[in-house]
Chains A and B, each alone.
Chain A
Amino acid sequence: MLCAHWSRLRRVSSRSCCATALRSTHSSTRLSSSPERIMKTFCSVWLLLSVVELSPAQEPPLACRGAAGPAPPQPETAEDMASTGDLEPTHYPARRAAQVALHYLNTRHGSPFRVFGLQQVHKASAEDVEAGGRKYKLDFSVTDWASGSAGPALRCSADVLFPRTERHSAPDVKLRCEALQQINRTVQEEEAFYQKHIPPDSAVSARDIPDSYGNMSEEMQPFWRLARVAASFIMLRESSENTEFNMVQMASVTQQESSEEQLMLEFVVLLHDLPSQEIVQWKLLASWSPDRGVRVLQTEWQPRCPHATKPPN
């Protein structure tokens, strides 16, 4: 789980991933963005481990204080990106909020045969609310990516509330989509997929889906979509007004034993955050069945020392 270089780095405090990350001059103590929160957690754990392991003669690394991490995306600008009142639907504040609603939609209605994507934002507005959050009202269309661009678009409306709390907390989403119940449920495919992989001797395992060239076999598509849906739980939880997440790769899938009539899958996923351009790696354990849909049981952020060439396993 640790970066290949990590054990070497521990002894070189000034060159650690933590220390270099901490050189950021971001002075706010509010951990409003998920990369900052991630780095702080990472740094705290790292610091703790280092303190425990180092001999008395060695110095502990710089204290992990304040926010750290990749370039804090930048809404503090005085520029007129004021997200209050009517918003330009093609600009990023509306699109980021819509993406959050999309993640929510996928956690509720995604499956191995259905992943929704944003087609277009039609209207958007935002207002500050009491308790210091910001609420976006959105009118947008989504398509089922699994059926390609031929699929019909669904019209949705959503309220997305980004809390403004000392520590990051997940946005709150209320969502309504027209005709959601009426879109073709992919019951037969789901059932067939479930029956194929529920037997106790099924032990699916794969890496790098899609591969570098964008190749993904037919057989892997439903697993990739499941990873995307499971990742949506994480992306939803980690989102803020300063992030815009997508899953860029299912780095691995390993089927686990399950006694509960659920497919049990351990995923490692690579997420891409557009504003910071960072690639973030998460390991997660999720279950799925046609009846119960996707449930995410465990998530674990995986540190990637940026200079390492391959993500740690």
Chain B
Amino acid sequence: AILEKAEMVSNAKMERSTKSFNFAAYHDLETLYSFMDTLVASHPNLITKVHIGNSYENRPMYALKFSTGGVSRPAIWVDAGIHSREWVTQASAAWIANQIASNYGVDPSVTSLLGQMDIYLMIVTNPDGYVFTHTNNRMWRKTRSVNSGSSCRGVDPNRNWDAGFGGPGASKDPCSESYHGPYANSEVEVKNVVDLIMGHGNFKSFISIHSYSQLLMYPYGYTCTDIPDKSELHSVGTAAIKELTSLYNTIYQVGSICKIIYQASGGSIDWTYNIGIKYSFAFELRDTGYYGFLLPANQIIPTAEETWLGLKYIMEYVCNHPY
């Protein structure tokens, strides 16, 4: 533990500029927030930091907005780290943020995409949980809200959305890892995102990044009934996975949440789909259970690279299929 702390302190010193930010390492919240500032500072005409609200413990929640102009252009939302122990997701999102920034003006498809759409990328969607995984319990998943009448804290932020809320696939028990909370959007972390999405009004895609299991999923989780757009989303997912797999042969499966992993109510992409954001997807990144949440840092960049290919495919598709 002492060695790790020393390592982290020295990482932080090295990471003054994004060029020396070590993408192949896991960082604490402060370092990730500082990386965001550095990224914004090096791309002032492309990226702004949007303060969408504060967490339960009053930490700021930031999304990076990639935009080349316009007013409320159609937009794509990507979030990582809503479950704080899924460390490869925050780490990959940092790499992806940097990738989008570097690709703009260089890669024709990213450049063209950003000419027509905005991208919102939230690297740490559950900052309280993330800090807790560093200071106290590496396996913490939920928010850190106090549950009245219970000594157990936290609500599963991905059971707290207003879609089949409280139904099968979430727990009523505050001590449970999948506790849905007292009511939908009770968690300020969730409410902040909901308010942003609703206030903006022009999101065309919502993509949530989790780990682990190597899956690309579409709605629904709260029911196994197929969505009307199942065919299209399944084929977009299949094509995206083909791009992902092409890099390192990492095998992913595609399907609805309910069928491929488990029935789960109150999930974010069910809510976004139901309010009309058709291209709603959730990723589960590496691996399939060997290291699980404790994925070695040397797999961060390969994971981010392959995920980026899948994500890019989806974004291009969304851009090419306005609705």
Residues of A within 8 A of B (CB): 5, 9, 15, 17, 20-21, 23-25, 70-71, 73-74, 76-77, 79-81, 88, 90-92, 115, 117-120, 145, 149, 210-216, 246-249, 270, 272, 274-279, 306-307, 309-310
**Could you tell me the distance in whole angstroms from the C-beta of A308 to the nearest C-beta in chain B?**
8
* 19 A-B pairs whose Cβ atoms sit less than 8 Å apart in the complex: A9-B151, A15-B151, A20-B151, A20-B175, A23-B173, A70-B173, A70-B176, A71-B169, A81-B258, A81-B263, A91-B259, A119-B251, A212-B87, A213-B25, A214-B294, A246-B290, A276-B176, A306-B176, A309-B137
Whether, in the assembled complex, B156 has its beta carbon less than 8 Å from a beta carbon of chain A, the answer is yes
- Contacts known (A90-B260, A216-B296, A248-B139); A211 close to B173, Cβ less than 8 A: no
Q: Which residues of A contact B255 (CB under 8 A)?
A: 88, 90-91
Interface flags for B145-169 (1: CB within 8 Å of A; 0: not) read 0000011110010000000000011
- Contacts known (A20-B150, A117-B288, A214-B296); A277 close to B260, Cβ less than 8 A: no
Contact A21 B173 (CB under 8 A): yes
- Contacts known (A77-B224, A79-B258); A246 close to B292, Cβ less than 8 A: yes
Contact A277 B136 (CB under 8 A): no
Query: A213-B296, A214-B299, A215-B296 are known contacts; what are 16 more A-B pairs with Cβ within 8 Å?
Result: A20-B150, A23-B173, A24-B172, A25-B172, A70-B178, A71-B171, A71-B178, A74-B168, A77-B224, A90-B254, A90-B260, A145-B290, A149-B249, A213-B294, A276-B171, A279-B139
Bound state CA distance, A287 and B171, in angstroms? 38
Contact A277 B263 (CB under 8 A): no
Contact B172 A277 (CB under 8 A): no
Whether, in the assembled complex, B276 has its beta carbon less than 8 Å from a beta carbon of chain A, the answer is no
**Could you tell me the distance in whole angstroms from the C-beta of A38 to the nearest C-beta in chain B?**
13
Whether, in the assembled complex, B295 has its beta carbon less than 8 Å from a beta carbon of chain A, the answer is yes
Contact A310 B137 (CB under 8 A): yes
Bound state CA distance, A117 and B259, in angstroms? 22
Sort A-B residue pairs by CB-CB distance and give the 9 closest, nearest first.
A71-B171, A246-B289, A79-B224, A214-B296, A277-B177, A306-B175, A309-B136, A248-B292, A90-B253
Which residue of the partner chain, among A20, A70, A74, contacts B169 with CB atoms under 8 Å?
A74
Contact B177 A279 (CB under 8 A): yes
Q: Which residues of A contact B138 (CB under 8 A)?
A: 212
Whether, in the assembled complex, B311 has its beta carbon less than 8 Å from a beta carbon of chain A, the answer is no
Contact B173 A80 (CB under 8 A): no
Contact A276 B261 (CB under 8 A): no
Interface size class of B (residues with CB under 8 A): 35 or more
Bound state CA distance, A73 and B258, in angstroms? 12
Contact B173 A20 (CB under 8 A): yes
Bound state CA distance, A70 and B178, in angstroms? 8
Contact A210 B171 (CB under 8 A): no
Q: Which residues of B contact A145 (CB under 8 A)?
A: 290
Nearest residue, chain A, Cβ from B133: A212
Whether, in the assembled complex, B174 has its beta carbon less than 8 Å from a beta carbon of chain A, the answer is yes
Which residues of B, 279-299, contact A by the 8 Å Cβ criterion? 288-297, 299
Q: Which residues of B contact A216 (CB under 8 A)?
A: 296
Which residue of the partner chain, among A9, A74, A79, A278, contacts B225 with CB atoms under 8 Å?
A79
Q: Which residues of B contact A213 (CB under 8 A)?
A: 4, 25-26, 294, 296-297
Which residues of B, 290-316, contact A by the 8 Å Cβ criterion? 290-297, 299
Bound state CA distance, A31 and B295, in angstroms? 34
Which residue of the partner chain, among B169, B260, B289, B297, contacts A215 with CB atoms under 8 Å?
B297
Q: Which residues of B contact A23 (CB under 8 A)?
A: 172-173
Whether, in the assembled complex, B38 has its beta carbon less than 8 Å from a beta carbon of chain A, the answer is no
Contact A24 B173 (CB under 8 A): yes
Whether, in the assembled complex, B278 has its beta carbon less than 8 Å from a beta carbon of chain A, the answer is no
Bound state CA distance, A91 and B263, in angstroms? 12
**Could you tell me the distance in whole angstroms from the C-beta of A190 to the nearest C-beta in chain B?**
20
Bound state CA distance, A30 and B174, in angstroms? 23
Bound state CA distance, A272 and B175, in angstroms? 16
Bound state CA distance, A119 and B251, in angstroms? 8
Which residue of the partner chain, among A71, A214, A247, contacts B176 with CB atoms under 8 Å?
A71
Contact A277 B249 (CB under 8 A): no
Nearest residue, chain B, Cβ from A90: B253
Contact A88 B296 (CB under 8 A): no
Nearest residue, chain B, Cβ from A215: B296
Nearest residue, chain B, Cβ from A115: B290
Nearest residue, chain B, Cβ from A35: B176
Q: Which residues of A contact B137 (CB under 8 A)?
A: 309-310
Contact B170 A71 (CB under 8 A): yes
Contact A91 B174 (CB under 8 A): no
Whether, in the assembled complex, B17 has its beta carbon less than 8 Å from a beta carbon of chain A, the answer is no
Whether, in the assembled complex, B143 has its beta carbon less than 8 Å from a beta carbon of chain A, the answer is no
Q: Which residues of A contact B25 (CB under 8 A)?
A: 213
Whether, in the assembled complex, B262 has its beta carbon less than 8 Å from a beta carbon of chain A, the answer is yes
- Contacts known (A90-B260, A248-B139); A278 close to B177, Cβ less than 8 A: yes
Q: Which residues of B contact A276 (CB under 8 A)?
A: 171, 176-178
Whether, in the assembled complex, B98 has its beta carbon less than 8 Å from a beta carbon of chain A, the answer is no
- Contacts known (A70-B178, A210-B296); A274 close to B213, Cβ less than 8 A: yes
Nearest residue, chain A, Cβ from B158: A277
Contact A306 B152 (CB under 8 A): yes
Whether, in the assembled complex, B204 has its beta carbon less than 8 Å from a beta carbon of chain A, the answer is no
Whether, in the assembled complex, B205 has its beta carbon less than 8 Å from a beta carbon of chain A, the answer is no
Whether, in the assembled complex, B223 has its beta carbon less than 8 Å from a beta carbon of chain A, the answer is yes
Bound state CA distance, A71 and B166, in angstroms? 11
Bound state CA distance, A279 and B85, in angstroms? 12
Nearest residue, chain B, Cβ from A79: B224
Nearest residue, chain B, Cβ from A8: B151
- Contacts known (A81-B224, A272-B293, A310-B136); A211 close to B4, Cβ less than 8 A: yes
Bound state CA distance, A129 and B169, in angstroms? 27
